Amino acid sequence: MPYKETKVEKLYYSIGEVARIFNVNTSLIRFWEKEFDVIKPKKNKKGNRFFTQQDIDNFHLIYHLVKEKGMTLNGAKKKIKENKDDTQNNFEVIKSLNEIKGLLLEIRDSL
63-98 confidence digits (pLDDT tens): 988 988 899 999 888 888 887 777 777 777 877 888
Average pLDDT over residues 102-108: 89
Asked whether 76 and 62 are in contact (CB, 8 A), the reply is: yes
Instruction: Give me the pLDDT at residue 34, please.
Output: 92
CA gap 93, 101 in Å, rounded = 12
Q: Which of 52, 50, 91 is nearest to 71 (CA)?
A: 91
Upper half-sphere CA count for residue 70 (Cβ side, 13 Å): 0
Q: Which of 102, 32, 103, 34 is nearest to 61 (CA)?
A: 32
Topology (CATH level 3) of domain 13-82? Multidrug-efflux Transporter Regulator; Chain: A; Domain 2 (1.10.1660)
Per residue in 5-52, pLDDT (tens digit) is: 555 577 899 999 999 988 999 999 999 999 998 889 999 999 899 999
User: Distances from the Cα of 22 to the Cαs of 8, 29, 33, 63, 70, in angstroms?
Assistant: 21, 9, 14, 8, 16
pTM over 0.75: no
Q: Which of 9, 15, 96, 4 is nearest to 59 (CA)?
A: 15
Q: State the angle between helix axes of 53-63 and 73-110 in degrees (0 to 180), rounded to the nearest 10.
A: 90
